[in-house]
């Protein structure tokens, strides 16, 4: 990613801190809503979550991981054998192929352990930057800030990162936010995006961030 430096004024720093403090008060226990026991299970669940809800993914993985919860078990499958287990999720054929091939790479190239290096993670089929960030942050406690549709939308509306892509948003947020807060901010922005700052008809008038939000009084087409 580009490394253009973001410079903040004192007022901007105070506004950002007020947003962080409010998010912490509103969502103190916000955490990853995908259910998993191992880094591999989190990797699989995150791949499955593309164009699917976490609730739906958790229903699928509860059954799936009882039978194929390890890289070795998943690697022994053919994609066509995995498809029936995940067919209620979007893009299930592509996901089945990606997950099986990723499991085989993990077994063959990494001794059955999900790698904790970004480059190795992103070399796995189906693993882009967002998925790698989710795994690094949640499975390995390595500072990373995943930008999904909720984080992208809410960060833009709040004026934290008015950018054109998730990659640009990540670059800005990781410069203006304390590194130790990245994981929590990711989960709190997601929770706020789901509960209040929804894609359609955001609840601006009941939002406790509205005093710090440049979009709160904007016309609907500016949100």
Q: So where are the chain's domains?
A: 10-30+145-218, 39-140
Place of tokens 């979007």: 90
Give CA separation, 150 vs 9, 68, 146, 182, in Å: 26, 30, 10, 15
**Model confidence pLDDT, tens digit, residues 205-216:** 999 999 999 998
Residue 13: active-site member: no
Interatomic CA distance for residues 190 and 209, integer angstroms: 14
> What does the pLDDT look like over 12-53, one tens digit per residue?
999 999 999 999 999 999 999 999 999 999 999 999 999 899
Annotated catalytic residue within 31, 55, 66, 148: 148
81-99 pLDDT, tens digit each: 999 999 999 999 999 999 9
Give the whole-angstrom CA distance, residue 32 versus residue 19.
20
User: Confidence band (pLDDT; 50, 70, 90) for 1?
Assistant: low
Give the Cα separation of 8 and 213 in Å (integer): 16
Helix (H) or strand (E) holding 47: helix 39-48
> How far is C-alpha 145 from the geometric centre of its chain's CA atoms?
8
Choosing from 130, 179, 183, 220, the catalytic residue is 130
3 state SS of 53: coil
130 catalytic? Reply is yes
Q: What is the pLDDT of residue 48?
A: 98
Angle at 202 between CA 130 and CA 147, to 5 degrees: 10
Q: Give residue-wise pLDDT tens across range 110-163.
A: 999 999 999 999 999 999 999 999 999 999 999 999 999 999 999 999 999 999
Q: How far apart are the first and last CA of the chain?
A: 26
CATH number of the structural domain 10-30+145-218: 1.10.1670.10
Neighbours of 78 (CB within 10 A): 10
pTM of the model: 0.91
3-state secondary structure 100-154: HHHHHHHHHHHCCCCCCCHHHHHCCCCCCHHHHHHHHHHHHCCCCCCCCHHHHHH
**What is the domain class of 39-140 according to CATH?**
mainly alpha
Task: Say how many C-beta atoms besides its own lie within 10 A of residue 14's C-beta.
Answer: 12
Q: Would you place residue 6 in the very low, low, confident or very high pLDDT band (cuts 50, 70, 90)?
A: confident
């Amino acid at each position: 990613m580009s490394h253009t430096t973001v410079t903040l004024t004192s007022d901007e720093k105070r506004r950002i801190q007020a947003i962080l403090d409010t998010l912490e008060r509103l969502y103190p226990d916000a955490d990853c809503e995908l259910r998993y026991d191992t880094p591999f299970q989190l990797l699989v669940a995150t791949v499955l979550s593309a164009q699917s809800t976490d609730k739906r993914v958790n229903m699928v993985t509860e059954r799936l991981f009882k039978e194929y919860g390890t890289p070795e078990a998943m690697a022994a499958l053919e994609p066509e054998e995995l498809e029936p287990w995940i067919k209620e999720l979007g893009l299930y054929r592509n996901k089945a192929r990606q997950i099986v091939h990723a499991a085989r790479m993990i077994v063959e190239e990494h001794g059955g352990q999900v790698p904790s290096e970004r480059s190795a993670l992103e070399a796995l089929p189906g693993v882009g930057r967002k998925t790698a960030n989710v795994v690094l942050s949640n499975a390995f406690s390595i500072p990373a800030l995943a930008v999904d549709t909720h984080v992208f939308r809410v960060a833009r509306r709040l004026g934290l990162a008015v950018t054109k892509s998730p990659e640009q948003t990540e670059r800005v947020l990781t410069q203006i936010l304390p590194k130790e807060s990245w994981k929590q901010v990711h989960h709190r922005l997601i929770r706020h995006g789901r509960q209040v700052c929804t894609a359609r008809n955001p609840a601006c008038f009941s939002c406790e961030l509205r005093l710090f939000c440049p979009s709160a009084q904007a016309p609907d087409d500016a949100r």
